[in-house]
Structure formats: structure tokens, C-alpha cells
Amino acid sequence: MDKIYFNGMSFYGYHGVFGAEAELGQRFYVDLELSLDLSRAGASDDLHDTVNYADIFTCVQKIVEGERFHLVEKLTAVIAERLLEQFPLHEVKAKVTKPNPPINGHYESVAIEMIRRREDFAS
């Protein structure tokens, strides 16, 4: 399966359990690994035979910046599931990094990574 990668997308969101997180917000980073068949795009050199990168970015941006979740786990799941709903992808690996969760200690960040497949949502 072919892959498209989005690395280090940066958004400002208001996700978290505690009041200050909802009030002040913070930066979130999103990485994606999208699995799909790119053979037609590789042969045709036509945008219609792949996914539009700007549309993927906008979809993720609307979720992270426009919606509110208590858990980064839920945010990550919604990103993966929404991408599968809106684009012809076989699999999405989504990773959301929260650099500054309210943890008393020294650490760089906390991240959640989820893999969702189209067949997981087939009815």
C-alpha cells in the first residue's frame, strides 16, 4: 500500500479535562500516515487521482481548532475516523502530540497514536 505522510502539523486548540486547558488552550501537533493506492496518480500526474493535501490539512484543522474534547484520545480518534469518512483512504495512522499537559514533572510531551482502517467502519 502506498503512503502519504503529514509531519508536524501545528494547531491551537482547547482540549483537556481541566478548566485552564479549555480557557487558555495550547498548541497541538498532528502527524498522519495515510495509506491508499497511488498507482493512478503516479501514472497520470493528475490531482484527481490522489487526495488533495490542502483538503486533508483543512479537515484536520477544523477538528483541532473548531471542536472541543476532554481527551486527546478522543481528538485522535475523531481525526482518524473523519479522514476515513471524507477521503478514499484504506488506513489512517494519526498521532496527536500535546506538548504541555498539566503534569507536575519534567517531560517533553505526551502523544496518542491510533490506527484506523476502512474495514473497521464498514457496516
Task: Name 113's bridge partners.
Answer: 95
Catalytic residue among 3, 74, 93, 98: 98
Helices 53-66, 72-86: crossing angle, 10 deg rounding: 150
Q: Respond yes or no: is residue 98 known to be catalytic.
A: yes
Are 89 and 116 contacting, i.e. CB atoms less than 8 angstroms apart? no
Residues, the chain, total?
123
Are 25 and 10 contacting, i.e. CB atoms less than 8 angstroms apart? no
Catalytic residues: 98
